[in-house]
Structure 1
Amino acid sequence: MQKIQTQGVHHITLNGADRQTSIDFWEGVLGMPFVFEQPNLDDHDVNHLYFDPGDGRLITIFTDEARKKDSSPNPNAPGTVHHIAFSVSRATFTQVERRLEERGIPNSGHKDRGFMDSIYFRDPLGHLLELASYKFEPPVGFTHAQVLLEAHRIRVARGDMAISDVHLADAIEDLVKRSQESLSDDRGPKQPY
């Protein structure tokens, strides 16, 4: 038996209400370009809208003009989606709370997650969304996930509860040391002053 190896999220499809609500939210609030639409090929009475969340992948929405929007929170039960998180730049993150408040959108305010900063709010249909900004950039040739895996190992070895800046900094240093050769015999910290 072999695994079925995934290579990333292809797309996420949500059930929407009317077409314009989806366009106004996904493009008009979150800035995701509306890239194409067509009928739902499994149900031609439903429309299928496609948005680019910023990485060339897709968020798609099934819309039906007969469905009314309901902003009640979606169920929080086993088998349901808790939230969807989207990446934003640090510069954008510092503006998110104000920009949501300008629209009257309730939100969690800034949440420090140790390795990232987050803010939570609901879309017009009750889906919980998160906008997240990493506190670090991975070294060239590495991904955020690889840095987090290394930071996790460091955190566990030290007996700490959650990843913090020190774990991230040490993880990045370790990854660079292992991946980049040096002519120095001793690559340890020094005090040249």
Structure 2
Amino acid sequence: MRKLQTQGVHHITLTGADRQTSIDFWEGVLGMPFVFDQPNLDDPDEGHLYFDPGDGRLITVFTNEARKPVHNRTPTDPGCVHHLAFNVSRATFSQVAERLTERGIGHSGPKDRGFMDSIYFKDPLGLLIELACYRFEPPRGCSHADVMIEAHRIRVERGDYNIQEVHLADAIERLVARTQQTLSSDQGS
């Protein structure tokens, strides 16, 4: 049977609060440019806002002026969305906790995830948001996923619990050795 091969996330659509609360959070807090809006074509009582999360793709938000912000946690039952994670630079990540605190937004504080650092907080309707920062840059011609696959293999070979920076460094070295030509006959020194 043939696959329906995906090529990345096209967009993610969320149910938001009212229009201004949604704009204030997605553009005002997270810095996602507000690209355009139009009616929700499936529900004339709702608006449909479009934001660029930084990669030219889209995060869209259905709005309704009758929905006001609540700070309850969104459901985490099986089949529900647990959280959305967005990539940020190391420079931005170092400022996230301070900037969220300045806005009065509660957060988890930085979390060490071995291959990345994360911080968690909620959107105006209680959806858990993660800002994440990789601890590595992939070598030229490779993706973050390429490095993660190789780091996973190394971790499993060594019997380690989770991916750590040493696995990333060794994975990058392996990928460079496989993909980068050299005139040297001995790359082991």
CA distance, structure 2, for counterparts of residue 32 and residue 143 of structure 1: 23
Match of 2:44 in 1: 44
Match of 1:160 in 2: 160
Q: Deviations over 1:138-161 (max 9, x none)?
A: 001110011000000000000000
Q: Deviations over 1:55-85 (max 9, x none)?
A: 0000000001112221100111100000000
Provide runs of 4+ in structure 1 moved above 6 Å.
none
Q: Deviations over 1:98-137 (max 9, x none)?
A: 0000011110001010000000000111000000000000
Q: Secondary structure at the match of 2:28?
A: coil
Shift of 1:54: 0.4
CA distance, structure 2, for counterparts of residue 119 and residue 174 of structure 1: 30
Q: Secondary structure at the match of 2:6?
A: coil
CA distance, structure 2, for counterparts of residue 27 and residue 14 of structure 1: 15
Query: Aligned-residue CA RMSD in angstroms?
Result: 0.7
Match of 1:4 in 2: 4
Match of 1:135 in 2: 135
CA distance, structure 1, for counterparts of residue 68 and residue 111 of structure 2: 32
Residues paired across the two proteins, number: 189
* Equivalent residues of 2:48, 2:60 under 8 A apart: yes
Q: Deviations over 1:162-192 (max 9, x none)?
A: 111110000000001001121222210x2xx
Match of 2:82 in 1: 82
Question: Scaled by the length of structure 1, what TM-score is found?
Answer: 0.96
Segments of structure 1 that go 5 or more residues without pairing to the other structure are none
Question: Scaled by the length of structure 2, what TM-score is found?
Answer: 0.98
Amino acid at match of 1:89: S
CA distance, structure 2, for counterparts of residue 82 and residue 43 of structure 1: 25
CA distance, structure 2, for counterparts of residue 104 and residue 170 of structure 1: 41
Match of 1:112 in 2: 112
Amino acid at match of 2:7: Q
CA distance, structure 1, for counterparts of residue 166 and residue 16 of structure 2: 42
CA distance, structure 2, for counterparts of residue 67 and residue 186 of structure 1: 65
* Equivalent residues of 2:17, 2:124 under 8 A apart: no
Match of 2:178 in 1: 178
CA distance, structure 2, for counterparts of residue 114 and residue 68 of structure 1: 37
CA distance, structure 2, for counterparts of residue 104 and residue 39 of structure 1: 31
Match of 1:169 in 2: 169
Whether 2:70 is the aligned partner of 1:70: answer yes
Match of 1:122 in 2: 122
